[in-house]
Amino acid sequence: MSTIAATADVSDQAVLGEGTRIWHLAQVREDAHLGENCIVGRGAYVGTGVQIGRNTKIQNYALVYEPARLGDGVFIGPAVVLTNDTYPRSVSPDGSLKSAHDWTPVGVTVEDGASIGARAVCIAPLTIGRWATIAAGAVVTKDVPAFALMAGVPARRVGWVGKAGHPLENKDGRWVCPETGAAYVEDGNSLKEAEDEA
């Protein structure tokens, strides 16, 4: 059973997985699909048709605009924005007010286990790879490889992180998590789990 705060605005057409909790003043729009055990924090927005996997947390005042797709175990920090308009304008060149049919939304995809820190902005269209971490306040303008640690404006890779979220240490050509001991190896411009650890 899902839990919805009395002050939340959840469409009857939204699909909420078992154990999902929607907190005060959050809005979940039509045809949004949230998996099991998700949390949508106070004042957060989940757009029409957004797809969200299991065990995902969307913190207070985050804005997840359609057609975003979030995998399992994703963390969206407070006041994060996932955009959806490449060329935003309120009006057409003739000055007339644009409607929802006057543009084509593009989305942000966040793969399994990835985390986006507070007040980061992700400029669609782009994909954030699995288990990547976006630092608070970053502005992401390009695709992010799996396990990348991204920071800055615009965001750039400043290191690698493991599944535990800790920055990895380079030891004899392998990247090792100081928390779990799990090993990873570079694979071109991305990282993957070492075969003996997979």
Residues 30 and 72 in one domain: yes
Cβ density class 165-178: b for 16+ within 10 Å, e for less: eeebeeeeeebbbe
Residues 176 and 89 in one domain: no
Residues 21 and 1 in one domain: yes
What pLDDT is attached to residue 182? 95
**pLDDT single digits (tens) 61-114:** 999 999 999 999 999 999 999 999 999 999 999 999 998 888 899 999 999 999
**pLDDT single digits (tens) 111-150:** 999 999 999 999 999 999 999 999 999 999 999 999 999 9
Residues 168 and 72 in one domain: no
What pLDDT is attached to residue 196? 64
**pLDDT single digits (tens) 30-70:** 999 999 999 999 999 999 999 999 999 999 999 999 999 99
Residues 58 and 38 in one domain: yes
Q: Minimum mean pLDDT among 2-11, 18-27, 132-141, 187-196: which range?
A: 187-196
Q: How many domains does the chain have?
A: 2
> Is residue 198's pLDDT more than 50?
no
Give the model's confidence band at 197: pLDDT under 50 very low, under 70 low, under 90 confident, else very high: very low
Residues 109 and 30 in one domain: yes
Residues 154 and 170 in one domain: no
Higher pLDDT, 198 or 176: 176
Cα separation, 57 vs 73, whole angstroms: 7
What pLDDT is attached to residue 188? 85
Residues 57 and 127 in one domain: yes
Domain limits for position 74:
1-96+104-161
Residues 174 and 85 in one domain: no
CATH of the domain at 53: 2.160.10.10
Residues 26 and 57 in one domain: yes
What pLDDT is attached to residue 154? 98
Give the mean model confidence (pLDDT) for residues 155-175: 95
What distance separates the 2 farthest-apart alpha carbons in the chain? 62
Residues 108 and 197 in one domain: no
The residues, any chain, with a CB within 8 Å of residue 113's CB and separated by 6 or more, are 71, 72, 73, 74, 130, 131, 163
The residues, any chain, with a CB within 8 Å of residue 88's CB and separated by 6 or more, are none
Cα separation, 92 vs 39, whole angstroms: 37
